[in-house]
Amino acid sequence: NAGVTQTPKFRVLKTGQSMTLLCAQDMNHEYMYWYRQDPGMGLRLIHYSVGEGTTAKGEVPDGYNVSRLKKQNFLLGLESAAPSQTSVYFCASSVAGGPREQYFGPGTRLTVT
């Protein structure tokens, strides 16, 4: 039982490049979330999903897209990376929605130059 895994762990992009971050969970959770964490800002919700085939915007969705084609996977895409998207990205999943117990992945450290 791996819990929540994220791929890749580190990435460096040039401004304007695109990439996809993959989150996978093996706990059969309905809810999945993408957060970004910046120094002094805590965690901010980017997008979330309440089930397979659904996605919704969080607090800071601009510049990101997501897809949840399979229940166990939640993908976060950056179509045209900007230096402001330099951050640590965390994926999480939960059985129930709202501020309930969430299981977090180890994070992806992204640098955009």
**Given the rule CB under 8 A, which residues bind other proteins?**
4, 31, 33, 35, 40-45, 48, 50, 56-59, 90, 92, 97-107
CB 101 within 8 A of CB 1: no
Output 85 or 102, the one with its CB closest to other proteins: 102
Smallest gap from residue 90 Cβ to other proteins (A):
5
User: Distance between alpha carbon 86 and the CA centroid of its chain, in Å?
Assistant: 14
Output 11 or 17, the one with its CB closest to other proteins: 11
Smallest gap from residue 104 Cβ to other proteins (A):
3
Handedness of CA 52, 29, 93, 71 (dihedral sign): negative
Smallest gap from residue 49 Cβ to other proteins (A):
9
Output 19 or 45, the one with its CB closest to other proteins: 45
Instruction: Collapse the DSSP code of 84 into the 3-class scheme (helix H, G, I; strand E, B; otherwise coil) and give the result.
Output: helix
Q: Could you tell me which of 54, 39, 48 has the C-alpha nearest to residue 91?
A: 48
